[in-house]
Amino acid sequence: MKKTLSSAMLLCALGLTGCGEETTPTPVDNAPKLDSQSNILAFLEGKTLVMEGDNIPSHPLSLDEDINWGSASQCFQKVTIGVGGNNFHVTSIPGTIRNSAGVGQPGSTCDHAAAQNALVFDSKAVTLSNITAGGSCFEVLVDYGSFKQEGRVSISSDTKKISMELYFEAKATGWRCADGAVGAKTVSVSGQAFTGNAVQVYDISG
Protein backbone atom coordinates (compact mmCIF):
# COMPACT_ATOMS: atom_id res chain seq x y z
CA MET A 1 0.00 0.00 0.00
CA LYS A 2 2.82 2.35 0.91
CA LYS A 3 4.53 1.64 -2.39
CA THR A 4 1.31 2.45 -4.31
CA LEU A 5 0.86 5.79 -2.55
CA SER A 6 4.47 6.72 -3.20
CA SER A 7 4.05 5.99 -6.90
CA ALA A 8 0.93 8.20 -7.09
CA MET A 9 2.73 11.05 -5.34
CA LEU A 10 5.62 10.75 -7.78
CA LEU A 11 3.27 10.95 -10.76
CA CYS A 12 1.65 14.06 -9.29
CA ALA A 13 5.04 15.65 -8.86
CA LEU A 14 5.91 14.91 -12.47
CA GLY A 15 2.56 16.21 -13.70
CA LEU A 16 1.78 12.90 -15.40
CA THR A 17 -1.67 12.37 -13.94
CA GLY A 18 -4.57 14.37 -12.51
CA CYS A 19 -4.10 15.35 -8.89
CA GLY A 20 -7.35 17.13 -8.08
CA GLU A 21 -6.68 20.23 -10.20
CA GLU A 22 -8.82 21.03 -13.25
CA THR A 23 -7.18 22.49 -16.32
CA THR A 24 -8.82 25.52 -17.98
CA PRO A 25 -9.64 24.80 -21.64
CA THR A 26 -8.24 27.20 -24.18
CA PRO A 27 -11.07 29.39 -25.57
CA VAL A 28 -11.93 28.68 -29.19
CA ASP A 29 -12.75 31.65 -31.43
CA ASN A 30 -15.68 30.50 -33.57
CA ALA A 31 -16.48 33.96 -34.94
CA PRO A 32 -16.56 34.06 -38.75
CA LYS A 33 -13.75 35.91 -40.48
CA LEU A 34 -15.52 38.71 -42.34
CA ASP A 35 -12.45 40.16 -44.00
CA SER A 36 -12.83 39.20 -47.67
CA GLN A 37 -15.47 38.66 -50.34
CA SER A 38 -15.06 34.89 -50.18
CA ASN A 39 -15.31 34.77 -46.38
CA ILE A 40 -18.36 37.04 -46.20
CA LEU A 41 -20.21 35.14 -48.92
CA ALA A 42 -19.24 31.86 -47.25
CA PHE A 43 -20.72 33.14 -43.98
CA LEU A 44 -23.96 34.15 -45.74
CA GLU A 45 -24.20 30.96 -47.85
CA GLY A 46 -27.38 29.03 -47.07
CA LYS A 47 -28.71 31.74 -44.78
CA THR A 48 -31.98 33.66 -45.02
CA LEU A 49 -32.16 37.44 -44.61
CA VAL A 50 -35.52 38.94 -43.62
CA MET A 51 -36.57 42.60 -43.49
CA GLU A 52 -39.96 43.57 -42.10
CA GLY A 53 -41.64 45.96 -39.67
CA ASP A 54 -39.49 48.76 -38.30
CA ASN A 55 -36.47 47.41 -40.19
CA ILE A 56 -37.96 48.72 -43.46
CA PRO A 57 -36.55 52.22 -44.13
CA SER A 58 -38.59 55.21 -45.23
CA HIS A 59 -36.64 55.58 -48.49
CA PRO A 60 -35.40 52.24 -49.88
CA LEU A 61 -33.05 52.91 -52.81
CA SER A 62 -33.63 56.62 -51.97
CA LEU A 63 -37.30 56.45 -53.10
CA ASP A 64 -39.99 57.58 -50.65
CA GLU A 65 -42.05 54.52 -49.72
CA ASP A 66 -45.20 56.67 -49.50
CA ILE A 67 -45.10 57.71 -53.16
CA ASN A 68 -46.28 55.71 -56.16
CA TRP A 69 -43.20 55.19 -58.34
CA GLY A 70 -44.87 52.72 -60.67
CA SER A 71 -42.84 49.53 -61.09
CA ALA A 72 -40.10 51.05 -58.90
CA SER A 73 -42.39 51.64 -55.90
CA GLN A 74 -40.71 50.87 -52.57
CA CYS A 75 -43.70 50.14 -50.32
CA PHE A 76 -43.05 46.71 -48.77
CA GLN A 77 -44.57 44.40 -46.22
CA LYS A 78 -41.60 42.05 -46.20
CA VAL A 79 -38.44 41.27 -48.15
CA THR A 80 -36.66 37.92 -47.92
CA ILE A 81 -33.25 37.17 -49.41
CA GLY A 82 -32.00 33.62 -49.70
CA VAL A 83 -28.24 33.43 -50.23
CA GLY A 84 -26.94 30.55 -52.32
CA GLY A 85 -24.19 30.00 -54.85
CA ASN A 86 -22.82 33.48 -54.06
CA ASN A 87 -26.06 35.05 -55.32
CA PHE A 88 -29.25 36.55 -53.90
CA HIS A 89 -32.72 35.07 -54.39
CA VAL A 90 -35.02 37.95 -53.45
CA THR A 91 -38.71 37.65 -52.65
CA SER A 92 -40.38 41.02 -52.10
CA ILE A 93 -43.94 41.28 -50.82
CA PRO A 94 -45.17 44.78 -51.69
CA GLY A 95 -47.57 46.70 -49.51
CA THR A 96 -50.30 48.92 -50.95
CA ILE A 97 -50.01 52.59 -51.92
CA ARG A 98 -53.14 54.32 -50.63
CA ASN A 99 -54.68 57.48 -52.12
CA SER A 100 -52.21 57.79 -54.98
CA ALA A 101 -52.55 60.95 -57.05
CA GLY A 102 -50.39 59.49 -59.81
CA VAL A 103 -46.84 58.34 -60.42
CA GLY A 104 -44.35 60.51 -58.57
CA GLN A 105 -47.03 62.60 -56.90
CA PRO A 106 -47.04 63.25 -53.13
CA GLY A 107 -50.00 62.74 -50.82
CA SER A 108 -50.24 58.94 -50.82
CA THR A 109 -49.22 56.56 -48.04
CA CYS A 110 -47.70 53.09 -47.84
CA ASP A 111 -49.95 50.53 -46.16
CA HIS A 112 -47.48 47.83 -45.09
CA ALA A 113 -50.21 45.50 -43.85
CA ALA A 114 -52.07 45.25 -47.18
CA ALA A 115 -49.87 42.75 -49.02
CA GLN A 116 -49.74 42.42 -52.79
CA ASN A 117 -48.46 39.51 -54.89
CA ALA A 118 -44.83 38.63 -54.29
CA LEU A 119 -42.11 39.77 -56.70
CA VAL A 120 -39.08 37.53 -57.24
CA PHE A 121 -35.60 38.54 -58.42
CA ASP A 122 -32.45 36.47 -58.80
CA SER A 123 -29.07 38.15 -58.96
CA LYS A 124 -26.58 37.30 -61.68
CA ALA A 125 -23.57 38.38 -59.62
CA VAL A 126 -22.74 39.83 -56.20
CA THR A 127 -19.45 41.70 -55.89
CA LEU A 128 -18.00 42.93 -52.58
CA SER A 129 -15.13 45.39 -52.23
CA ASN A 130 -13.35 47.78 -49.84
CA ILE A 131 -13.97 45.45 -46.91
CA THR A 132 -13.04 46.59 -43.40
CA ALA A 133 -12.05 44.06 -40.75
CA GLY A 134 -15.01 42.35 -39.13
CA GLY A 135 -17.42 43.38 -41.87
CA SER A 136 -18.24 46.69 -40.18
CA CYS A 137 -18.39 48.30 -43.62
CA PHE A 138 -17.97 47.01 -47.14
CA GLU A 139 -19.32 47.92 -50.56
CA VAL A 140 -21.60 45.78 -52.70
CA LEU A 141 -22.70 45.70 -56.33
CA VAL A 142 -25.65 43.41 -57.03
CA ASP A 143 -26.36 42.67 -60.70
CA TYR A 144 -29.94 41.55 -61.40
CA GLY A 145 -29.50 41.62 -65.16
CA SER A 146 -32.01 44.32 -66.07
CA PHE A 147 -30.83 46.59 -63.23
CA LYS A 148 -28.07 46.89 -60.65
CA GLN A 149 -27.92 48.09 -57.06
CA GLU A 150 -24.87 49.40 -55.23
CA GLY A 151 -24.15 50.66 -51.76
CA ARG A 152 -22.45 50.09 -48.43
CA VAL A 153 -23.16 47.26 -46.03
CA SER A 154 -22.38 46.30 -42.45
CA ILE A 155 -22.77 43.09 -40.46
CA SER A 156 -23.46 43.48 -36.74
CA SER A 157 -20.77 42.35 -34.29
CA ASP A 158 -23.00 39.47 -33.14
CA THR A 159 -23.55 38.50 -36.82
CA LYS A 160 -27.34 38.49 -36.33
CA LYS A 161 -28.14 41.46 -38.57
CA ILE A 162 -26.95 42.85 -41.88
CA SER A 163 -27.65 46.47 -42.83
CA MET A 164 -27.63 47.39 -46.52
CA GLU A 165 -27.77 51.00 -47.70
CA LEU A 166 -28.51 50.52 -51.39
CA TYR A 167 -29.11 52.75 -54.41
CA PHE A 168 -29.71 52.16 -58.09
CA GLU A 169 -26.37 51.99 -59.88
CA ALA A 170 -24.91 55.38 -60.86
CA LYS A 171 -27.84 57.31 -59.33
CA ALA A 172 -26.11 58.30 -56.08
CA THR A 173 -22.72 59.50 -54.85
CA GLY A 174 -21.12 59.63 -51.42
CA TRP A 175 -22.27 56.15 -50.42
CA ARG A 176 -18.87 54.48 -50.20
CA CYS A 177 -17.35 53.31 -46.91
CA ALA A 178 -14.63 55.94 -47.31
CA ASP A 179 -17.38 58.58 -47.18
CA GLY A 180 -18.80 57.35 -43.87
CA ALA A 181 -20.46 54.49 -42.04
CA VAL A 182 -23.64 52.82 -43.26
CA GLY A 183 -26.43 55.38 -42.91
CA ALA A 184 -24.16 58.41 -42.65
CA LYS A 185 -25.58 61.58 -44.17
CA THR A 186 -23.00 61.72 -46.94
CA VAL A 187 -25.12 60.76 -49.96
CA SER A 188 -26.39 62.83 -52.86
CA VAL A 189 -28.97 61.52 -55.32
CA SER A 190 -29.17 63.12 -58.76
CA GLY A 191 -27.01 65.94 -57.42
CA GLN A 192 -29.23 66.68 -54.40
CA ALA A 193 -28.35 65.95 -50.78
CA PHE A 194 -30.25 62.86 -49.63
CA THR A 195 -31.81 63.27 -46.18
CA GLY A 196 -33.98 60.14 -46.00
CA ASN A 197 -33.23 56.71 -44.55
CA ALA A 198 -32.23 54.09 -47.12
CA VAL A 199 -30.75 51.52 -44.71
CA GLN A 200 -32.45 48.15 -45.09
CA VAL A 201 -31.94 46.02 -41.96
CA TYR A 202 -32.22 42.25 -42.29
CA ASP A 203 -32.29 39.60 -39.58
CA ILE A 204 -29.94 36.71 -40.41
CA SER A 205 -31.09 33.14 -39.80
CA GLY A 206 -30.04 29.66 -40.81
Distance of alpha carbon 181 from alpha carbon 136, whole angstroms: 8
Q: Locate the domains of the chain by residue range.
A: 37-205
**What is the pTM (predicted TM-score) of this model?**
0.85
What backbone phi and psi angles, to 5 degrees, belong to 118? Answer: -65, 145
Q: Quick one: pLDDT at residue 30? A: 72
Q: Quick one: pLDDT at residue 55? A: 98
Q: Quick one: pLDDT at residue 76? A: 98
Distance of alpha carbon 34 from alpha carbon 204, whole angstroms: 15
60: number of Cβ within 10 Å: 26
Q: Say whether 37 sits in a helix, a strand or coil.
A: helix
Q: Are 185 and 195 in contact (CB under 8 A)?
A: yes
Distance of alpha carbon 75 from alpha carbon 62, whole angstroms: 12
Give me the amino acid identity at 95: G
Q: Quick one: pLDDT at residue 20? A: 54
**Residue 44 exposed, middle or buried by CB count within 10 Å (0-12, 13-18, 19+):** buried
169: number of Cβ within 10 Å: 14
Q: Are 197 and 59 in contact (CB under 8 A)?
A: yes
Task: Walk along the chain (206 residues) and give the pLDDT tens digit of each residue.
Answer: 444 444 444 444 444 444 555 666 666 567 789 999 999 999 999 999 999 999 999 999 999 999 999 999 999 999 999 999 999 999 999 999 999 988 999 999 999 999 999 999 999 999 999 999 899 999 999 999 999 999 999 999 999 999 999 999 999 999 999 999 999 999 999 999 999 999 999 999 99
Q: Are 19 and 55 in contact (CB under 8 A)?
A: no
Distance of alpha carbon 113 from alpha carbon 79, whole angstroms: 13
